[in-house]
Amino acid sequence: MNDALNQLQPYPFEKLRALLAGAQPPVEKQAIALSIGEPKHRSPAFVAEALSANLEQLAVYPTTLGIPALREAIANWCSRRFGLPAGALDPARQVLPVNGTREALFAFTQTVVQRGADGLVVSPNPFYQIYEGAALLAGAQPHYLPCLPEHGFNPDFDAVPNEVWQRCQILFLCSPGNPTGALIPLATLKKLIALADQFDFVIAADECYSELYFDEQNPPAGLLSACAALGRNDFKRCVVFHSLSKRSNLPGLRSGFVAGDADILKSFLLYRTYHGCAMPVQTQLASVAAWNDEEHVRANRELYREKFAAVLDILDGVLDVQRPDGGFYLWAKTPVDDETFARELYAREHVTVVPGSYLSRSVDGQNPGAGRVRMALVAPLAECVEAAERIRAFVKSLQA
């Protein structure tokens, strides 16, 4: 067996199940899960219609590169969303459809990493655990950059020593962040591109939450925006990952894309051809419909705004928590240690949250997720309000 498998840590939800094992929540209270970031808003009906209208494509082998119509729809969406010059993103060379970002992030790492004792894959901490597992199985070592409140829950990139950048092969970014919801400013993205040029590493920007933000007049910048601002239309060393799961409430469609540096994507396409992960044609056609429509995305954001406003109003003055810059998570500071908070909240109130320390790694004795919990506001408004009321009552009981 691959020895690297022994380096993989249990997934956060495995740890959570072990933590809650044996707890007996009150049966009279309905279970409310704020633990898993699975969108629960209604999927767009027109996407389901496009999927069902093309079921004859079940008889067709899909190609790894995907159909031109999907790549063109993605390129056009990127141009509209991130202010790219017309024709800057070539659908034939700079866009690849993928079966959701999770699969793509893992496979991309296997493509890019050059195996060796010194290779680093650098990521924020806390982080999406795929970054770590992909690094280990590619033969690289993860390197974690703490995301602390004094830096707006973004890594302090200025504090990273040159020897780390010299060994870095991939820098993973996540903006808005999971679990913090922090946005990486455009100026920081430009600075990171300059570092990638100087030290010859690839920036892999996980932007699957990019369409969940609060100000309709100011959508957050992404890595492609930074490239455009720099006049960098070849997107050298820059690759972005996007998905329909959060944007369009389509987690079961398993549809996303990777876009950016054409040379990197050429190698990624070769890897994927052997990997055997082509997106079914009927899924591609349904995805075209989703990427071409923004009305349902605006409506989706409004639902999240409503939930954040209601929940934060209930928790105000009781729990140390603020509205994030984006995404659908609350990153709350706990009055007791995060594991105790999560277990007792479940046992007393039948509400499930994730301890922040399960989403982070301890480095030099510091775990940046310790003393926090992640709450996913994905349930319907009424459930989120009920959960917030129970959390409020629970925290007050701790203070009694």
Give me the DSSP letters along 316-378. TTTSB----SBSSEEEEEPSS-HHHHHHHHHHHH-EE-EEGGGGS--BTTB-TTTTEEEEETT
CA 205 to chain centre: 9
pLDDT in tens, 284-317: 999 999 999 999 999 999 999 999 999 999 999 9
Q: So where are the chain's domains?
A: 3-42+296-399, 46-293
CA 123/CA 315 separation, integer angstroms = 31
How confident is the prediction for the chain on average, in pLDDT? Answer: 97
pLDDT at residue 247 above 90? yes
pLDDT in tens, 154-190: 999 999 999 999 999 999 999 999 999 999 999 999 9
What CATH number has the domain spanning 3-42+296-399?
3.90.1150.10
pLDDT at residue 400 above 80? no
pLDDT in tens, 96-127: 999 999 999 999 999 999 987 799 999 999 99
pTM (predicted TM-score) = 0.97
Q: How far is CA 73 from CA 48, 92, 97, 319, in A?
A: 18, 12, 11, 43
What's the pLDDT band for 79 if we cut at 50, 70, 90?
Answer: very high
CA 285/CA 214 separation, integer angstroms = 29
- The fold of 46-293 is Aspartate Aminotransferase; domain 2 (3.40.640)
Tokens 């970031």 appear where? 37
Residue 392 has what pLDDT?
98
* Residue 230, token pair as written in the block: 């720099």
Residue 399 has what pLDDT?
85
